[in-house]
A and B are shown apart, each in its own frame.
Chain A
Amino acid sequence: MTFWNDPINFIANWLTGLLTGWGVPDLWATIIEYALGITALIVFAMVLDILLVWVERKVVARFQDRLGPNRIGPFGLIQPFADIIKLVIKEDITPANADKVVYNIAPVLAATSVISLWAILPLSSRIFGVDMNVALLYLVAAGALGTLAIIMAGWSSNNKYALIGAFRMVANMVSYEIPMVIILLIPTILADTMSVQGITQAQSGIWFAILSPLGFIIFFISAIAELGRSPFDLIEAESELTAGFNVEYSGMKFGWFFASELLHAFTFGGFMAVLFFGGYGGFFGLEKVAGFGWLTNPFVESAVFLAKAMFGYWAIMWVKYSMPRVRIDHMLAFNWKFLVPLSLALLVTTAILHKLLIVLPTWQYAVGMFASNVVIITGTIEILRAHGRKQRKAEEKLSPQPVKN
């Protein structure tokens, strides 16, 4: 074992030797090691977060045919650091009528909920926080904490815009968590485990996005809704609620809401990579071919993972800057009348077909799963078309005089 093929255990073993040599009890040595490793991981996440601000601003500028930040540093790379200094030295204004305790806890909770997701994010087969056997439930729980932070912020500000933003967040949460949790069952069935490492390793042959493309699409939509990003950004809706839930926040407290939203989006890009695109691995067996063994190096795996997560983040941004905002009743109807029945149908089909086809060779299994998804997608589109046709007929019947062109 060297630093290059197992960095975390290498440093941990060295530290254990050092600490027990000093006479530190076993439990405290473990806690100190954990604390050092966790601090390094969180600092990495925070530096990444700062760079995400730059990426976000550069990409939105390109979408809107602008240049974006380009004055401070090369390509404007120093801009987010300047932003942080500005946010920190800004006066923090708390509204006189606000519920001060809840108002101050909310931004910290928003950041903590996102940071705690990094505990289970598998950067590589040997660089990860912890490999829990209930990782997917932990993912749902930590996501719900972020929602709670937004509700707390909206309610405690004692502002009408913020309150309406918080109310919409509740509506958002009570809908889109259902398809999300149902879709999380699909990687669980396919990989036969809830641990993220297990799910990643189950995809070393074939990605779950190929076995269940529809599952990926539904997860992508509900992830965007969970993040509260456009087209589901009704909690902020700057054209009607000015800034929604964070309208009363200023300075670094606002900064944490902003930073945690970006990091949350990136982290969900990472989970999309883990659940459907093979995470740090998923080279379709290429790593077993002679000459490609370096693909399993932990640093290479981390780079692959971060690239996939960045791609997911970019896809979320792409949707955000090219879609108009939906109305709230449309959002709820879309969830309950479309996504929930569709995801339940997909779950039942996946479970039964997985049970029937698992005895077949891998390629027949993969073709069967993919074909079942295609059938469901086609059927859904046909049902929607028939429904649309029926509605059009009914409307034509209502207006007796045909429109003359």
Chain B
Amino acid sequence: MYSEWLYIGVFIIIGIIVPVVPLVFSALVAPKKSNPSKQSTYECGIETVGESWVQFKAQYYIFALVFLVFDVETVFLFPWALSLNRMPMFVALEGVLFIGILVAGLVYAWRKGMLEWV
């Protein structure tokens, strides 16, 4: 038997080919009668105003920062969860302490008003 990652690799290659096939078929049989007004950007039937790729205020960027912290920390929790049955109680409690530090960060962000829509 070869590695399971060989299977995943073959799976993803075929998983890319399968969606491409109908798109290629569609490109062959579908009509091609484009004109400028068809290709213009849709804006509820009125003329497009201005560019879309402008600086846009992402009102949740603070959430994104909190997310980064949590997402990295949860990765560290997976090994802890996997070895929970084989470790003594105080090591399990150290994992809880780690979660406690996470919660302290969340409470801090909350008290500072970071979890509000700005």
Contacts and interface: CB of A to CB of B under 8 A. Distances in A.
Given A116-B15, A344-B103, A108 B23 contact: yes
B106 A341 contact: yes
A355 B92 contact: yes
A contact patch SS: helix
A351 B92 contact: yes
Interface in A200-220: none
Given A27-B2, A167-B58, A358 B85 contact: yes
B19 A96 contact: no
Contacts of A182: 74, 77
A247 interface: yes
Q: How large is the interface on A (under 10, 10 to 19, 20 to 34, 35 or more residues)?
A: 35 or more
A352 B99 CA distance: 13
A170 B58 contact: yes
Contacts of A171: 60, 63
A91 B106 contact: no
Chain B, interface residues (CB within 8 Å), range: 35 or more
Nearest to B86: A192
Contacts of B89: 355
Nearest to A173: B67
Given A158-B53, A185-B78, A131 B4 contact: yes
A111 B19 contact: yes
A336 interface: yes
Nearest to A88: B26
A348 B71 contact: no
Interface stretch (A33-41, A276-284, A309-317): A33-41
Nearest to A85: B29
A178 B71 contact: yes
Given A348-B96, A351-B95, A252 B26 contact: yes
A177 B72 CA distance: 12
Contacts of A372: none
Interface in B76-113: 77-78, 81-82, 84-85, 89, 92-93, 95-96, 99, 102-103, 106, 110
Contact of B36 (A90, A96, A248): A96
A248 B26 CA distance: 17
Contacts, number: 205
A345 to B, nearest CB: 9
A94 B23 CA distance: 13
Nearest to A92: B30
Contact of A132 (B4, B34, B96, B99): B4
Contact of B41 (A89, A97, A119, A358): A97
A395 interface: no
A289 B71 CA distance: 45
Nearest to B60: A171
Contacts of A119: 7-8, 11
A51 interface: no
A336 B63 contact: yes
A149 to B, nearest CB: 11
B43 A159 contact: yes
Contact of A130 (B7, B32, B38, B52): B7
29 contacts: A38-B14, A88-B22, A88-B29, A89-B30, A91-B34, A93-B34, A96-B36, A108-B19, A111-B19, A115-B19, A116-B8, A119-B11, A158-B52, A160-B43, A163-B52, A167-B56, A174-B64, A178-B74, A181-B71, A192-B84, A253-B23, A255-B22, A332-B115, A332-B117, A340-B106, A351-B92, A351-B95, A352-B92, A355-B92
Interface of A: 27, 30-31, 34-35, 38-39, 42, 46, 84, 87-97, 107-108, 111-112, 115-116, 119, 129-132, 136-138, 155, 157-163, 167, 170-171, 174-175, 177-178, 181-182, 185, 188-189, 192-194, 242, 247-248, 251-253, 255-256, 328-329, 332-333, 336-337, 340-341, 344, 347-348, 351-352, 354-355, 358
